[in-house]
Structure 1
């Protein structure tokens, strides 16, 4: 298995919330895309391990992913330990992604912060030689960051991706997580999904399209040509 894109999500549903539109766009362009959920995401008020697994499977089918696994780290107490770093680096050496997508590095959720720290450190570790980690050394080319934050932030992304052709599928993938976004939530308008649609519409407006998703990176982003700009 060699992936073009690997999305690392603290919990099942974070990849869908933050960048399902980009995932669908990448798949439409012929890229091999995978998602690694770091934890089960449970317990939650209306969820269970069985519910979350079924919801994740349904969302995965909509996204058409080439690969998805769960690293089995502890929900609510995710930490960037050496053991977790080695587990994640071993996955990088196995699926060998060109690009990594990690959560944005500022958040109120400790699991999200730990996830980003783990990705940064495991990217470095995955290239090490003279180690007991299985697999050949490998160094993903880039880390990009998607926004799925628990803060009311006026973000300044590095770029916005046009997802106009994929909003409906993104919404359907998020709706699979019924225990998270329907049960126990008010269905008065605007609903949770309607708010997400409005956010996507805002980012689309910023770049002159119908819907968009924002991204950033700690590293400079190079352009081979200005022809790729919207």
Structure 2
């Protein structure tokens, strides 16, 4: 059983979008899992075997309690009824309190399909009189992380302080060397440097070193103001 299930269209999306959140939740004693929907391959610089190795390395760096792959097709991910049932079955078996999904606006069709699939599977997971595995379960919230291919200026619902966990987040991203280091064309500023600048910007918005933005379609509830920065 998980406290939080991060659902990623491809291996590396969870690391890019919410590795800081994963690490912070685990530091607070929560059990976090990641479900990659596809293998992420083919890509110009990777291979299925290499991507598995890189994913295993990133998983070890993050210290994840649980990580699986749903085996759906890369580049043609669709929120079909069959895929909805598969994902709902995982939700019913892992029983997370929270789901984390990609932001719902993106240029990458796999990302928007993944978000639609998560929304639909969350509803289906609570159904009774079904042949899906596990008992009915309805996660309390869906939080959306930013890992977008669209050039946009996000307006997040909240920004999480990940200052203590930034270096380990960065290490988990570096584990995908074929995607973010050797496979990137030479530029004045590297992809990794841009990620650091972005995290620093979000940290500045809340008065800390590094931050990670999140969105939520449903209102967020507070029991008090003690946890606000």
Question: TM-score per shorter chain, which class?
Answer: over 0.9
Distance 2:107 2:185 in 1: 23
Distance 1:140 1:187 in 2: 43
For residues 100-153 of structure 1, what are the alpha-carbon distances to aligned partners after superposition, in whole Å with 9 as ceiling and x for unaligned? 000000000000000000000000000000011111101111000000000111
Distance 1:16 1:46 in 2: 19
Distance 2:132 2:181 in 1: 42
Number of the residue aligned with 1:139: 138
Q: Where does 1:192-207 land on structure 2 (aligned, <5 Å)?
A: 192-207=191-206
Number of the residue aligned with 1:179: 178
Shift of 1:186: 3.1
Number of the residue aligned with 2:88: 89
Distance 1:182 1:193 in 2: 8
Distance 1:19 1:187 in 2: 26
Size of the aligned set, in residue pairs, is 229
Q: Where does 1:110-121 land on structure 2 (aligned, <5 Å)?
A: 110-121=109-120
Matched residue SS, 1:130: coil
Distance 1:188 1:8 in 2: 31
Q: Where does 1:97-116 land on structure 2 (aligned, <5 Å)?
A: 97-116=96-115
Number of the residue aligned with 1:54: 53
Shift of 1:30: 0.7
Number of the residue aligned with 2:39: 40
Shift of 1:183: 2.1
Q: Is the 8 A contact 2:54 2:175 kept in 1?
A: yes
TM-score, length basis structure 1: 0.98
Q: Is the 8 A contact 2:177 2:183 kept in 1?
A: no
Q: Where does 1:72-83 land on structure 2 (aligned, <5 Å)?
A: 72-83=71-82
For residues 157-200 of structure 1, what are the alpha-carbon distances to aligned partners after superposition, in whole Å with 9 as ceiling and x for unaligned? 00000000011001100000011011231344421111000000
Distance 1:56 1:214 in 2: 23
Segments of 4+ moved more than 2 angstroms: 186-189
Moved more, 100-109 or 180-189: 180-189
Unaligned runs of 5+ in 1: none
Measured on the aligned residues, the alpha-carbon RMSD in Å equals: 0.7
Aligned: 1:70 with 2:79: no
Distance 1:28 1:132 in 2: 36
Distance 1:112 1:183 in 2: 24
Unaligned runs of 5+ in 2: none
TM-score, length basis structure 2: 0.99
